[in-house]
Structure 1
């Protein structure tokens, strides 16, 4: 499946990452420490680790590791990883434009027009006799609790920006575990 990059983005090639439910995505494994995350994704570009605002007292302190592609100055992160003190890496957000390509059973999840992704997800579910899942915002994706689809505006189109997750300390679902910075569109908190 071909992927067209944003014109003028400077991104010539995007890696293909694999996803394994409850295990990890690409070189990242759920449960990794901040240092392990930085080492695993350092080949993509420069990393920046920072503390996350602690919005909910039930969660242990959390760090955000942003991975910016080499050669792209002042660009949004290609990948953002969230690491909890209690459970380690629990969330990996992949940018729709700069992030690696990640597929779920042959369906590309990153950077897709959300309406096209929905059509593909419905066709896949019907052909395979499985279900698909909608987020509270109405974004369709695979029926996998470890994949939370988000929208990211790219020009005039809303593109897919998936979060690959496991539950973190004190949460019942991945949706409950979502970092507050990911509540809004394109990582901008709406709170």
Structure 2
């Protein structure tokens, strides 16, 4: 019998969202205002908005929108979205346990054991005759600058917490646009 983690327990209840590079993920479209993000996220759950401390003079004021699933006891956010004053929505993070399932073509990205995701990313790239890439932290994922695979500790297993992004004001790449709150400990989002 395979070992089951918290991430496995909620898979049947996950919403399925689509991802379109440079366009958006699920009901969220890059460039949306904070109010538009809150309105679009109502289908998933209740939102809370907080303004983030400005850590770099380069970036305009930024807000974090946390969305918790309807009907789920108090839990971590299923989705965390980031919007800046200059460009609107630029980043959407899907929680490994509570977030919606998002696939890149046929490669499922959310809540995956990172070693299994790496194996599947390599197999997908070989079968489709495309490339895959590693993040600077060593996590494998699709060869799309708008998808950054992050780790989230679930029990004793690192699971995938993908970020879907576009470049925000003043940044050169999506990696440069990574919100400090997602990057803060450098190894995994706890």
Q: So what's the TM-score if we normalise by structure 1?
A: 0.91
CA distance in 2, matches of 1:9, 1:151: 18
Structure number with greater CO (CA < 8 Å, separation at least 6) is 2
- 1:116 corresponds in structure 2 to 116
- 1:59 corresponds in structure 2 to 59
Deviation of 1:44 after TM superposition, in Å, equals 1.3
Alignment of 1:1-191 (within 5 A): 6=6, 13-183=13-183, 184=185, 185-187=187-189
CA distance in 2, matches of 1:186, 1:126: 28
Deviations 1:146-165 (A, max 9, x none): 00000001111100000000
Q: So what's the TM-score if we normalise by structure 2?
A: 0.92
Deviation of 1:187 after TM superposition, in Å, equals 3.7
- Structure 2 unmatched runs, 5+: none
- Structure 1 unmatched runs, 5+: none
Q: How many residue pairs end up in the alignment?
A: 185
Does structure 1 conserve the Cα–Cα contact (< 8 Å) formed by 2:50 and 2:65? Answer: yes
Does structure 1 conserve the Cα–Cα contact (< 8 Å) formed by 2:132 and 2:141? Answer: yes
Deviation of 1:7 after TM superposition, in Å, equals 7.6
